[in-house]
Amino acid sequence: MQKSWKRIKQNEKERRGEEGKEEKRREKGVLINQLICDPATTVMQEAQGSDHRAEHTAEHAFIGSLQKLLGQTLQVRKVEHNRSGNTAFIVLPQLDPDIVARAESDVNSLISEGRAIVEHSFQSMADAKQKFPNLRANEERITGQVRVIEIKGHDAAACAMQHANNLAECVFFLVTRISKSGSEYEVDFLTGDCAKQAAIDLSVKLLNVCREIGANVNTAENTARKLKAENESNFRKLKALTRERLEAIKAETVGADQNGNPLFQVYKGVFTNLADDTIREFTGEKIQNAGAVVILANLDDSTGRTSIVFARNEKSRGFDCASLLRGLGPMVKGGGKPNFVTGTAERQYAQQIVDVLSDAVSKTKTRLP
Smaller CB separation from Zn ion, 159 or 356 = 159
Segments in 220-317 forming alpha helices (H)? 220-247, 276-286
Return the beta strands (E) in the chain as ranges: 75-82, 85-91, 117-122, 146-151, 155-158, 173-181, 184-191, 252-256, 262-272, 292-300, 305-312, 332-337, 340-346
Binding flag, residue 164, Zn ion (CB under 5 A): no
Smaller CB separation from Zn ion, 79 or 324 = 79
Residues 196-215 vs Zn ion: string with x where CB under 5 A?
Answer: --------------------
At 221, the amino acid letter reads E
What is the closest distance, in whole angstroms, from the C-beta atom of residue 95 to Zn ion in the complex?
21
Binding flag, residue 40, Zn ion (CB under 5 A): no
Smaller CB separation from Zn ion, 163 or 312 = 163
Reduce the DSSP state of residue 296 to 3 states and report it: strand
Interface with Zn ion by CB under 5 A: which range of 43-51, 158-166, 251-259, 355-363?
Answer: 158-166
Smaller CB separation from Zn ion, 111 or 299 = 111
What number of other Cβ atoms are within 10 A of residue 331's Cβ?
Answer: 16
Helix 53-70 to helix 97-113 angle (10° resolution) is: 120
What is the closest distance, in whole angstroms, from the C-beta atom of residue 103 to Zn ion in the complex?
17
Interface with Zn ion by CB under 5 A: which range of 24-32, 140-148, 159-167, 276-284?
Answer: 159-167
Q: Are 148 and 128 in contact (CB under 8 A)?
A: yes
Binding flag, residue 159, Zn ion (CB under 5 A): yes
What is the distance between the alpha carbons of residues 199 and 217, in angstroms, rounded to a whole number? Answer: 15
Q: Nearest to Zn ion by Cβ — which residue?
A: 159
Interface with Zn ion by CB under 5 A: which range of 22-30, 80-88, 151-159, 310-318?
Answer: 151-159
Q: Which of 32, 40, 74, 161 binds Zn ion (CB under 5 A)?
A: 161
What is the distance between the alpha carbons of residues 51 and 57, in angstroms, rounded to a whole number? Answer: 11
Smaller CB separation from Zn ion, 161 or 238 = 161
Interface with Zn ion by CB under 5 A: which range of 30-38, 116-124, 154-162, 258-266?
Answer: 154-162
Smaller CB separation from Zn ion, 76 or 361 = 76
What is the closest distance, in whole angstroms, from the C-beta atom of residue 90 to Zn ion in the complex?
15
Phi, psi of 262 (to 5 degrees): -60, 145
Smaller CB separation from Zn ion, 54 or 159 = 159
Smaller CB separation from Zn ion, 36 or 137 = 137
What is the distance between the alpha carbons of residues 328 and 351, in angstroms, rounded to a whole number? Answer: 13
What is the distance between the alpha carbons of residues 136 and 64, in angstroms, rounded to a whole number? Answer: 9
Binding flag, residue 148, Zn ion (CB under 5 A): no
At 324, the amino acid letter reads L
Q: Which residues, including other chains, have CB under 8 Å from residue 312's CB and lie 6 or more apart? A: 264, 287, 292, 293, 294, 319, 321, 339, 340, 361
What is the closest distance, in whole angstroms, from the C-beta atom of residue 7 to Zn ion in the complex?
28
Burial of 223 (0-12, 13-18, 19+ CB in 10 A): middle
C-alpha distance from residue 141 to each of 28, 135, 158 (Å): 31, 14, 10
Binding flag, residue 74, Zn ion (CB under 5 A): no
What's the chain's length in residues?
Answer: 369
Smaller CB separation from Zn ion, 161 or 199 = 161
What is the closest distance, in whole angstroms, from the C-beta atom of residue 183 to Zn ion in the complex?
23
What is the closest distance, in whole angstroms, from the C-beta atom of residue 88 to Zn ion in the complex?
11
Residues that contact Zn ion, how many (by CB under 5 A): 2
Interface with Zn ion by CB under 5 A: which range of 113-121, 155-163, 169-177, 186-194?
Answer: 155-163
What is the binding site for Zn ion (CB under 5 A)?
159, 161
